[in-house]
Structure 1
Amino acid sequence: MRLTVAVETFPIAGAFRISRETRTEARVVVATIEDGAHVGRGEAVPYRRYRETVEGVAEAVEAMAPRVADGLTRQDLAEAMPAGAARNALDCALWDFEAKRSGTPVAQVLGLTLRPLTTAYTLSLGEPHEMAAAAEAAGRPLLKVKLGAPSGDDARIAAVREAVPDATLIVDANEGWNEGNLLINMGACAAAGVALIEQPLPAGRDGVLATISHPVPICADESVHTSADLAALVGRYDAVNVKLDKSGGLTEAIAMTEAARQAGLKVMVGCMIGTSLAMAPATYYAQGADFVDLDGPLLLARDREPGLVYDGATLMPPEPMLWG
């Protein structure tokens, strides 16, 4: 088995704005494992919020080349690397490689019948009229609305709801709210019939969530990475966002999803902005999830070929040529 690592850049269609940054491109790290006859790939999206850099993640993956050559398994990987983007790239590459080499699809290994999924479509943070226009133009049944500005989020969500009265709305504040505006913004979300609020407060400063009512269910994102974090969420959150790049790959994402359900938490399957190769493994543990947000490729100016097939808001299962 031989490991190679590549850094690739994909332009974002326009700009993608959240509470703490604006991006115009997605830089991803791709791990490829091959034996001369079979090839497995995994894509990771390093995230600066978690103190990751593209260069650092690529170096961490490359450092595992000798272990891969010696026959590294997914179980070995979980002990050898911490959760995060680097481990995700390798874990997903190993899943794909094992499927290609054995001829047994990942879905069969997991005992799954893959079904199409309804995915959210993300609206970047902007002025109320801009976000309302974007919501109407999107024409999607499920929208994820980025909020978290210093002020005016109540007007933003009201404007979006007026523009799309029948759409299901998820709000993502990306840690942008505080104790001063939390209740006002939550009340505005409740008035707008929002189905879920993601990470309203900064991770580590979210204890107040255990002391207030939740007129809208609250989902942990930055506050949760792996199964080990779930116990601390009880009483504060109603749901968890399970992402491959946080959990460190499909292996832990599956375990985390099962543990979250056992803890009575709803499950959202989310993503960073990456290509279809990054989304494909997530479609497996997204089967049966309460909310699915795997729209990364839809936000790009170009995707991989072949990529995932989106029919409006419907995400089709990945073809084996792409992954799995």
Structure 2
Amino acid sequence: MDLTGKVAIVTGSGRGLGLAYARELARHGASVVVNDVDQEAADEAVATITGDGGRATAVVAPVGPTETATRLVETAVESFGRLDVLVTNAGVLRDTVLWKMSDEDFDTVVNVHLRGTFTCVREAATHMRSAGEGGRIICIGSPTGQRGNFGQTNYAAAKAGIVGMVRTWALELARANVTVNAVIPVAATAMTDTVPFFKQFSDAADRGEPVPWARRVLSFGDADDVAGLVAFLASDEAAEISGQAVGIGGDRLALWSHPDEVVTAFQDGGWRAESIAAGFDALFGRRLQQVGQPMPEPPADALPGEGKR
């Protein structure tokens, strides 16, 4: 993947997955605009990338406002002369069950993830269409947005909305040779470390212990396991790929399906409540769709260290 001469913006790239994406893009030759709300994290990210021989600069600002999106694109053009790639990664969590979720909890997460993706993509797409040289837009989704997750109403709504926007933007930007795709990552981060089930595996990996069951069955690895997909989708090799949701994590690479009708049935004259009630179980009962991420019980020998039973 040769990205020499390309310029990328990665939101939320001061640490974690975003930093891994920024470093991987730089490793393949791209100049990177790092973004974070934390000045120290942003400065450290730039120092890491330049220390590795890459080119980077930082914009310290929260995503969501149009002003931040404008500043990011202007910085890319002013610092490096162009814009080829946008990765919308910035995000926050405010997890709690529906009946305890405040308006602020909901609005904060939706503003950063959903509005932040919208404003940044709108600004980048406007520039890319005007420049006439195509481009790559990569939006970060989540398994929660694909299947739901307990306690994450706000996050699920935002991430599902992102994938819906990706499909729409892929249609709208096709004539401009701008591809738009979603990445659905699974990786050890500060967010997953709040979940004891996942933390035991990330802790084991940090100690250098192999965790093959988690990598294969849970698709659970580290941020570097995800970053290669972002570099690929940013490259010329992915010029014909657009409107897709691609999952990655641990040892797994997967293509998510678009929502589609699973079973259809017809009745002359249409359906009424009584006829639906009479036929629903026979028609659909065995094909009802699962909600939430399946969490298989690990065998005893898959549990790391002290977690083994």
TM-score (norm: length of structure 2)? 0.28
Task: Decide which structure has greater strand share.
Answer: 1
Higher relative contact order (CA 8 A, sep 6+): 1
Structure having the higher Rg? 2
Structure with more helix by fraction? 2
